[in-house]
Amino acid sequence: MSQKPLPTPEQARYQQLIKEMEPPARYTANALWAFFSGGLVCVIGQFFIDLYAAILHLPPVEASNPAVATMIMLGAILTAFGVFDRLARYAGAGLAVPVTGFANSMVSAALEYKQEGFIQGIGSKIFILSGSVITYGVVTAFFVGLIHALLKR
């Protein structure tokens, strides 16, 4: 195997200059923003669960299905109007990880490829980012269900 060549003095000075100019990482602040923004997303989701339970006279477990669909719809609408990305700059993973991030990945891919038409653009590219989430979600659900069924015996 060949070793990576050592940087020239000019390259080393450039790397040092980059380190000096680079802002420090804000891991703690980013984690706190993600925690609180993710909590806010959960509070909004809980609001919809309570609302649908009261309006539709459903138990909370069943009211969670339309609440999740509403959160996905809100994420899609916010993405379509360009608001989601501005919010995600501050909220980070707190906004991107829940179902709102799933909606964002689908709608942003659809918007990016809409010029190619409904079939080859939107239809074929809408799941380009979210396809892996769906695939691994289904596989994980299968194995969790299998383990649950085996342990329930």
Q: Which of 115, 111, 113, 110 is nearest to 127 (CA)?
A: 110
Q: Are 75 and 83 in contact (CB under 8 A)?
A: no
pLDDT one-digit tens code per residue, 50-102: 999 999 999 999 999 999 999 999 999 999 999 999 998 888 888 887 788 88
Domain boundaries in the chain? 33-152
Of 18-22, 77-81, 118-122, 132-136, give the range with the top mean pLDDT. Answer: 77-81
pTM over 0.85: no
pLDDT one-digit tens code per residue, 98-116: 788 888 888 888 888 778 8
pLDDT one-digit tens code per residue, 3-26: 888 889 898 899 888 888 888 888
